């Protein structure tokens, strides 16, 4: 054996219940956020520590719907930034 004891049935059951509970609490229509990069800058000035944390995230819509030309009536300008 690898020296590691196998999980007990109670631990496996607890993990299973935890995953189910998380699935119930999670909003499926919420956008999915993925952290891309985390940058931490730290400066020390005597007894004071200044720490700046920058977190870059990408937010994806939960239900991506491709926009097709058949969604809007013919001749209708859906882009409000341009003039007809």
* Three-state DSSP class for residue 32: strand
| Bridge partners (DSSP) listed for residue 51 | 42
Give the pLDDT score at 79.
55
- Could you report the per-residue pLDDT of 3-43, keeping only the tens digit for each? 788 999 999 999 999 999 999 998 888 888 899 999 999 99
Q: Is 22 among the domain residues?
A: no
- Could you report the per-residue pLDDT of 51-80, keeping only the tens digit for each? 999 999 998 887 656 666 555 555 555 555
d(CA 23, CA 33): 16
Q: Structurally, how many domains does the chain consist of?
A: 1
- Provide CB contacts within 8 A for 35, sequence distance 6+: 55, 56, 57
Q: Is 39 among the domain residues?
A: yes
Q: Is 82 among the domain residues?
A: no
Give the pLDDT score at 23.
92
d(CA 65, CA 63): 6
Q: Is 36 among the domain residues?
A: yes
List the domain range (segments joined by +) for residue 40: 31-60
Give the pLDDT score at 78.
57
Q: Is 46 among the domain residues?
A: yes
Q: Is 43 among the domain residues?
A: yes
């Amino acid at each position: 054996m690898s020296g590691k004891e196998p999980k007990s049935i109670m631990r496996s059951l607890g993990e299973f219940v935890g995953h189910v509970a998380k699935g119930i609490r999670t909003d499926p229509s919420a956008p999915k956020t993925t952290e891309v990069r985390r940058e931490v800058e730290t400066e020390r000035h005597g007894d004071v520590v200044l720490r700046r944390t920058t977190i870059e995230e990408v937010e994806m819509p939960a239900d991506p719907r491709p926009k097709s030309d058949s969604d809007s009536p013919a001749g209708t300008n859906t882009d409000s930034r341009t003039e007809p």
